[in-house]
Chain A
Amino acid sequence: MNPANYLLLSGVLFTIGTVGVLLRRNAIVVFMSVELMLNAVNLSLVTFSRLKGTLDGQVIAFFVMVVAAAEVVVGLAIIVTIFRTRRSASVDDANLLKY
């Protein structure tokens, strides 16, 4: 097996995450799909690191993990705040800015 095949797996996982963001209505599940996309990109970064023989890819994957952690903390706080005021976690109900 060619070691670059991990890139194909990463692409497939990223696509599934994209479809999840488009399909799901629950804000938390949409968020998990975004996490899946970030994880897929991390896999491709680690694979690139191995293909090129330098550790820069792993360092960038590490940064992606840190930024993802910060994003999850703030995003979940926003979801909880919206749920408190509107009693719903559906992304369709948060439409105050629409009209």
Chain B
Amino acid sequence: MTTVLAQGITHTTGWESAIFYVLGTIAVLAALGLVLARSAIHCALMLVVVQFCLAVFYFVQDAPFLGAVQIIVYAGAIMVLFLFVIMLIGIDSSDSLVEVLRGQRVAAVVLGFGFAGLIVFPTGSAIAGTTAVGLDSANGVGNVQGIARLLFTNYVFAFEIVSALLIIAAVGAMVLGHRERAPRPTQRELSEQRIAGEHPSAWTGPGVYADHDAVDSPALLPDGSPTRASLPENMSQDDIIDVIERVGIEK
């Protein structure tokens, strides 16, 4: 154990510190941009920046497989999916500025600072003086081979469950995204709908068969009864009541 600790890394090399500080700053700024940007597209681009920074961190920390997967799966596939959905439901669907719960934003920011303090300060004091064993021996035959050995021995059950989960998720997304369309009515059904109703032809206009040709005198149907359907749609309610009192519309 002491020999392992003696071999452990207490300090990273200079170029790794430089990468950490530069890309770490960029990642934090991009994450803040993700929270603060108005447009959903800008948020997605900020998230891509964070993910590229993290991919570089993975490469630096002897995890080249995860770095490649991060770029291919996260920055590639998942972000494209996000952008698809943003384009699908409208880019201009920006956030509403209405506060549903009063003081929620202020409380969220205050609690965020508190949470950051709770995480960062204990972690900072806990990691002081720690040493890293390093992955040189674990990556001895290669990082991908090492991960594959673990995946297909210790974690093979979890691996199978995760593969089932992926299939379930794909089928679930297809079920959710699928929309059953009602079959379009045929031309015959349309014409039967139009002809077989109460009125075999076009609506009679106002004044037809009536003793006035004013627009507010309803047309008479062939059986002699007046029809409200012949009155203009934008007649006021009072005028319609007048007409009803005058001619006694039933329908």
Contacts and interface: CB of A to CB of B under 8 A. Distances in A.
Real binding pair: yes
Interface of A: 1-9, 11-20, 22-26, 28-29, 31-33, 35-36, 39, 42-43, 46-47, 49-56, 58-59, 61-63, 65-74, 76-81, 83-84, 88-90, 92
Given A12-B120, A55-B146, A79-B89, A61 B115 contact: no
A33 B35 contact: yes
Nearest to A83: B89
A43 B108 CA distance: 24
Main secondary structure of the interface of A (DSSP, over half): helix
A22 B130 contact: no
5 contacts: A12-B28, A25-B96, A32-B34, A51-B131, A74-B176
Contact of A28 (B40, B70, B127, B173): B40
Given A49-B63, A74-B172, A65 B69 contact: yes
B47 A32 contact: yes
Interface in B123-146: 123-124, 127-135, 137-139, 143, 146
Given A53-B134, A55-B146, A28 B86 contact: yes
A15 B112 contact: yes
A3 B62 CA distance: 12
Given A28-B40, A59-B150, A6 B61 contact: yes
B63 to A, nearest CB: 5
Contacts of B108: 19, 22-23
A25 to B, nearest CB: 5
A18 B34 CA distance: 12
Nearest to A9: B24
Interface string B1-44: 00010000111100011001100100110011011000010011
Interface stretch (B75-83, B184-192, B203-211, B219-227): B75-83
